[in-house]
Amino acid sequence: MSMYSGHIDKLIEELAGLPGIGAKSAQRLAFHFLNMSEDRVNKFARTILEAKQNVRYCKTCFTLTDQEECPVCSNAKRNHRLIMVVENTRDLTAYEKTGRFEGVYHVLHGAISPMLGIGPNDIKIKELIERLHDDVDEVIIATNSSLEGETTAMYISKLIKPIGVKVTRIASGVPVGGDLEYIDEVTLLRALEGRIEL
């Protein structure tokens, strides 16, 4: 039996469906929203809708942006001959926080996972290979240290080597099974500096 009305239950249920939000957090957030002023709730809802309507993939690296090209790709001071391949935009953000990587990125939006039915054609690998027809010196593969991340790294490496572009993998120091977005900047920087050629 529910302790709340249908509207409150529905709000809690929707919030609990968000990643990382359990039942108690969803309940806390629901009551927080209900205690906010109507103007603030409307502004919050508008912000979500505007982001959903205006955010798209960067035409070059496929990170999320509200411009045709993201700030990294449109920056002429970045080394466009050095591409770091990451699984998602959160991983890109983690490396950008180090402030030390001067190249550009390519966001795959996932990793190869036969168990989940995700194959090479389901992520942005073909688009990465197309980018290599420009002048590229090195591709750094910075996928997660999981089975899926390692599988993806090896697959990409086998595709790139015949093209003649140097392929490296970030070094260990990133724990196996760890997600890049949760790793501190120093560890990420050491992994980047200690990368190995595949």
Question: What confidence tens digit (pLDDT) does each residue in 171-196 have?
Answer: 766 665 667 777 767 677 767 777 76
Q: 104 pLDDT exceeds 80?
A: yes
Torsion angles phi and psi, residue 86, rounded to 5: -125, 160
| Domain 6-54 falls under CATH 1.10.8.420 | yes
Confidence of residue 143 (pLDDT cuts 50, 70, 90): very high
Residue spans in the chain of domains classed CATH 3.40.1360.10 = 69-197
Question: What confidence tens digit (pLDDT) does each residue in 10-45 have?
Answer: 999 999 999 999 989 999 999 999 999 999 999 999
pTM for the model stands at 0.77
Residue with the bigger pLDDT between 73 and 187: it is 73
Nearest to 169 by CA among 147, 185, 152, 186: 152
pLDDT (mean) for 161-176: 81
Residue spans in the chain of domains classed CATH 1.10.8.420 = 6-54
Contact status, residue 8 vs residue 27, Cβ threshold 8 Å: no
Report the pLDDT value the prediction gives residue 195, as an integer from 0 to 100.
Answer: 73
- CATH fold of 69-197 reads Dna Topoisomerase Vi A Subunit; Chain: A, domain 2 (3.40.1360)
Residue with the bigger pLDDT between 145 and 50: it is 50
Report the pLDDT value the prediction gives residue 6, as an integer from 0 to 100.
Answer: 86
Other beta carbons within 10 Å of 174: 21
Report the pLDDT value the prediction gives residue 134, as an integer from 0 to 100.
Answer: 79
pLDDT (mean) for 111-139: 93
